[in-house]
Amino acid sequence: MTPRVLVDAAAVPADRGALIRYVDGLVAALDRAGADLVVVCQRADAARYAGLAPSARIVPGPHGITNRAARLTWEQTGLPFLARQVAAQVIHAPYYSIPLSSGLPTVATVHDLTCFTEPLQHDAVKAAFFRAATRTAVRHATRVIVPSKATRDELIRLLSADPTRIDVAYHGVDPALFHPPSEREVKHASDRLGLHGTPYVAFLGPLEPRKNVPNLIRGFVRAVEDIAHPPALVLAGGGPRRRGGRRGGAGPLDGAGAPSRLPVLRRPVRFPRRGGGRGLPLAG
């Protein structure tokens, strides 16, 4: 008998970065696989999850859980109550924190441990929260899912996690999103960047300290300094706008992380981030 799984998609943060792609892909894949699935989410996300998982039961959470503090309180009280209401047999918490008194087997996903290994790359309050949530998940979750062996090894090394309760589940690839682009798509992206056919190397991700982008730029400049006609370096992702040259320099592509634009960046891609278990290297 297939267990009924309650996925806590209400944990998706307001910045809607990589986590939302992970949760969306997880929910859609479980639904396609025939899982008995209940998804609790922010009210604004209910229609999207209904489309991603047409066979699942979608439960909009309370209005107030858009606030982080309110959501964390609800996670400890309202989420266990909801699990009983929908007769869930397993709770999957995809974003570190878990309910402690649900009385059900709980699965937590720990994406990376940069709050431990690179604490200065995070806001101090955020880092403290994720360290506490990760420690709690490692102690109390029935199973812990990680996206890489590197993250598994860090859990064991840093938190003395029980390796027999950790499952490495590598990230998959959505072929509807990541596919070889047509020549027309490639030309459109190149022209939009002002490159007009010039080769380029792309960085995909938010422009924030833990992504180690400054060192990527420094390394790129050194790598191309003796090349007469170097490729461009394209920084694609959210964050403050930056200035730079087109040839042999760094140029921003705001919104390039949007799903509709990702396929056209299927060229050599560099991921210089500090630590972490996420990230999908795309073959050039």
| CATH number reported for the structural domain that contains residue 117 in this entry | 3.40.50.2000
145 shares a domain with 54: yes
The Cα angle at residue 46 between residues 27 and 148, in degrees rounded to 5: 30
Q: How many CB atoms lie under 10 A from the CB of residue 263?
A: 18
163 shares a domain with 229: no
Query: How large is the average pLDDT for residues 118-128?
Result: 86
What local confidence, expressed as pLDDT, does residue 120 receive?
84
Q: What is the pLDDT of residues 55-104, one digit of tens each?
A: 999 999 999 998 888 999 999 999 999 999 999 999 999 989 999 999 99
In a domain, 84, yes or no: yes
- Give the integer Cα–Cα distance in Å for 147 and 171: 6
pLDDT-based confidence at residue 201 (cuts at 50, 70, 90)? confident
Total domain count, the chain? 2
161 shares a domain with 91: yes
80 shares a domain with 112: yes
Q: Is the pLDDT of residue 260 over 90?
A: no
What local confidence, expressed as pLDDT, does residue 113 receive?
94
In a domain, 216, yes or no: yes
Tokens 């996420």 locate to 278
Q: Is the pLDDT of residue 253 over 50?
A: no
pLDDT-based confidence at residue 243 (cuts at 50, 70, 90)? very low
The Cα angle at residue 141 between residues 170 and 54, in degrees rounded to 5: 60
Contacts of 278 (CB under 8 A, 6+ apart): 18, 22, 111, 112, 147, 171
In a domain, 65, yes or no: yes
238 shares a domain with 115: no
Question: Which residue range forms the structural domain that includes residue 81?
Answer: 4-168
pTM value is 0.76
247 shares a domain with 122: no
144 shares a domain with 41: yes
Beta bridge partner(s), residue 178: none
14-28, 103-117, 172-186, 254-268: which range is least confident on average?
Answer: 254-268
In a domain, 282, yes or no: no
Beta bridge partner(s), residue 168: 146
107 shares a domain with 222: no
Is the separation of the CB atoms in 83 and 95 below 8 Å? no
Q: What is the pLDDT of residues 160-178, one digit of tens each?
A: 999 999 999 998 877 777 7
Q: What is the pLDDT of residues 129-164, one digit of tens each?
A: 999 999 999 999 999 999 999 999 999 999 999 999
130 shares a domain with 31: yes
- Give the integer Cα–Cα distance in Å for 102 and 77: 8
- Give the integer Cα–Cα distance in Å for 105 and 127: 27
- Give the integer Cα–Cα distance in Å for 172 and 169: 9
149 shares a domain with 16: yes
In a domain, 274, yes or no: no
Token reading at 185: 């798509």
The last residue of a domain, from among 168, 192, 209: 168
What local confidence, expressed as pLDDT, does residue 244 receive?
38
85 shares a domain with 217: no
201 shares a domain with 74: no
